[in-house]
Amino acid sequence: MITIEKINTNNKSQVHRFVSIPYRLYANHPQWVPPIISDVKLYLNRNKHPFFEHSDADFFIAVKDGKDVGRISALENKRFNNYHHKKQAQFYFFDCENDIEAASALFNCVFEWSKLRGLDRVLGPKGMGPLDGYGILVEGFEHRQMMTMMNYNFPYYSQLIEANGFVKEVDFVSCYINANTFQLPERIHSIAERVQKRGTLSIQRFKKKSELRAWAKRIGQAYNDAFVNNWEYYPLTDNEIKFVLDNILLLADPKLIKIITADQKVVGFLFGFPDVSAALQRARGKLLPFGIFDLLLEMRRTNWLALNGAGILPEYHGRGGNALLYSEMEKTIRSFHFVHADLTQIAETAEQMRHDLINIGGKPYKNHRVYVKIL
């Protein structure tokens, strides 16, 4: 018999139960990268996560014969709904044993939660902010998860979701680049050099995190402007922007962050991160006492680069902006001696960027799918 328990987010024991489920499901899985437990618990903290300043969420566990066999969260992002004039619920943190009864009980709980709030569709997996990986993995199970910037799951997850009436909404494809074969046409670099010589656009580079923090507000505004036409967009609050940037800075090497400016206004950006997946796997969700040192060492020895966050304001696409962005992408990969790069989760609706990435040598190798069900 399956029972569903709603988590009291003020109860540390219940929060820990919810957070712990995937650590048991994926124990020693070679492709799964465990997030830091304290970071996940922050998502259930209504006093600290900025999502709860404007929206709501609840968290549920499926129990079978006294054992926790699955979990899910139900979210109402009121800022997203107000911006897009929708009545949409989201599900996130879906993890479950290969048990259709348990999965159906979890989703039925989300459906009832949504209907009680007057919401007429459920979409997901989609989390609380832009750093939360979208969708479930439907292609590329043989590849390791890229840190915690995207989700990893068993192949049967799509079957459990589709069995509960969900259909595809949008796919997010990640592209692989090998530094040995990645080479832009010379004309791309020439265009990039010309726009910089004309003073139309310039590159802002950083050596220290303090320099990067000084640009934080302008970067946040550029994010809100650059992705306004994206499928997942809603205007982030100042606290959400701060939350995102604080998290970025934890694993950032400032030298891998590039900002494109026009008259000191941020009009584009390229966020690169050294892939520390191996260290996160060794840490098993805990940074203390030695995990933090291993993480710092991994930042220096990894030969993988995660490019998660590349964009430029639409009005600069035809003015050399894209050329400058891709030119800096190649320079970043080569100058820091990375061998492999992952261009993380490009929405299929971002047709121009996906077309550009394939043209310059990116090979699609992972696909994450977001599902929707009309209630």
C-alpha 10/C-alpha 222 separation (Å) is 36
Same domain, 356 and 251: yes
- Section 112-135 average pLDDT: 94
The reply to whether 117 and 217 lie within a common domain is: no
**pLDDT at residue 89 is higher than 80:** yes
On the question of a cis peptide bond just before residue 314, with omega within 30 degrees of 0, the verdict is no
Q: Kindly state whether residues 183 and 149 are assigned to the same domain.
A: no
Q: What is the pLDDT of residue 168?
A: 97
Q: Which of 371, 249, 369 is nearest to 309 (CA)?
A: 249
Owner of token pair 């310039």 = 202
Nearest to 345 by CA among 371, 364, 317, 372: 364
Evaluate whether residue 374 is within a structural domain.
no
Alpha helices for the chain (secondary structure H): 12-25, 37-42, 78-84, 100-116, 157-162, 186-198, 209-213, 216-226, 238-251, 277-283, 291-301, 322-335, 351-359
Q: Is residue 375 part of a domain?
A: no
Q: Do residues 74 and 184 both lie within one domain?
A: no
pLDDT for res 2: 94
Q: Within this chain, do residues 182 and 215 fall inside the same structural domain, yes or no?
A: yes
Residues 6+ apart with CB under 8 A from 29: 152
- What was the pLDDT predicted at 226? 66
pLDDT tens sequence across 290-334 = 778 888 889 889 999 888 877 777 777 777 877 888 888 888 888
SS3 for 366? strand
Range of the domain at 27: 2-171
Number of domains in the chain: 2
- pLDDT for the residue numbered 228: 65
Single out the residue in 136, 171, 206 at which a domain terminates.
171
> How much is the pLDDT for 23?
96
DSSP secondary structure letters along 312-334: E-GGGIIIIIHHHHHHHHHHHHH
In a domain, 101, yes or no: yes
Do 213 and 144 reside in the same domain of the chain? no
Helix (H, G, I), strand (E, B) or coil at 94: strand
Are 271 and 362 in a shared domain?
A: yes
| pLDDT reported for residue 182 | 80
- Residue 130: pLDDT band (50, 70, 90) is confident
Does residue 323 sit within a domain? Answer: yes
Lowest-confidence segment of 23-27, 42-46, 196-200, 363-367 by average pLDDT: 196-200
User: For residues 243 and 50, is the Cβ–Cβ distance under 8 A?
Assistant: yes
Q: How many other CB atoms are found less than 10 A from the CB of residue 190?
A: 11
Indicate whether 373 belongs to any domain: no
pLDDT at 367 over 80: yes
pLDDT at site 229? 66
| 50 vs 13: CA distance, rounded Å | 23
Based on the number of CB atoms within 10 Å of its own CB, is 64 exposed (0-12), middle (13-18) or buried (19 or more)? middle
State whether 157 and 198 are in the same domain. Answer: no
Of 147, 171, 195, the residue at which a domain comes to its end is: 171
Closest Cα to residue 96, out of 28, 154, 33? 154
User: Which pLDDT value is given to residue 204?
Assistant: 85
pLDDT at 365: 93
- Domain membership of residue 354 (yes or no) is yes
Last residue of a domain, one of 171, 201, 227: 171
Same domain, 306 and 163: no
CATH number of the domain to which 266 belongs: 3.40.630.30
Q: Given this model, what pLDDT does residue 368 score?
A: 96
68 pLDDT above the threshold of 90: yes
What DSSP line would sit under 246-297, residue for residue?
HHHHHH--GGGEEEEEETTEEEEEEEEEE--HHHHHHHTT--TTTHHHHHHH
184-239: pLDDT as tens digits = 888 888 888 888 888 788 888 888 888 888 887 777 777 777 666 667 778 888 89
181 and 330 both lie in a single domain? yes
Closest CA to 85 of 299, 265, 234: 234
For residues 226 and 340, membership in a common domain is answered with: yes
| Selected residue with higher pLDDT from 185 and 72 | 72
Residue 372 within any structural domain of the chain = no
pLDDT at 196: 86
Residue 342 structure tokens: 């992952």
Residues 6+ apart with CB under 8 A from 170: 135, 231, 347, 348, 349, 369, 370
How confident is the model at residue 188, as a pLDDT?
84
Choose from 72-76, 249-253, 270-274 the range with maximum mean pLDDT. 72-76
DSSP-derived 3-state class of residue 6: strand
- Is the pLDDT at 26 greater than 90? The verdict is yes
Report residue 194 CA to chain centroid gap.
Answer: 34
The arithmetic mean of pLDDT across residues 129-158, rounded, is 91
User: How many other β-carbons are positioned within 10 Å of the β-carbon of residue 359?
Assistant: 12
Structure tokens at 62: 């499926």
First and final C-alpha spacing in the chain: 26
284 token code pair: 């098993």
> Rounded CA gap, 86 and 168, in Å?
18
- Residue 92 covered by a domain: yes
Q: Is the same domain home to 266 and 286?
A: yes
The predicted-structure confidence for 42-52, as pLDDT tens digits, reads as follows 999 999 999 99
Query: Where is pLDDT greater, at 40 or 328?
Result: 40
Dihedral pair phi/psi, residue 47, rounded to 5°: -95, -15
Share of the chain above pLDDT 90, in %: 50
Least-confidence region, from 25-34, 195-204, 228-237, 271-280: 228-237
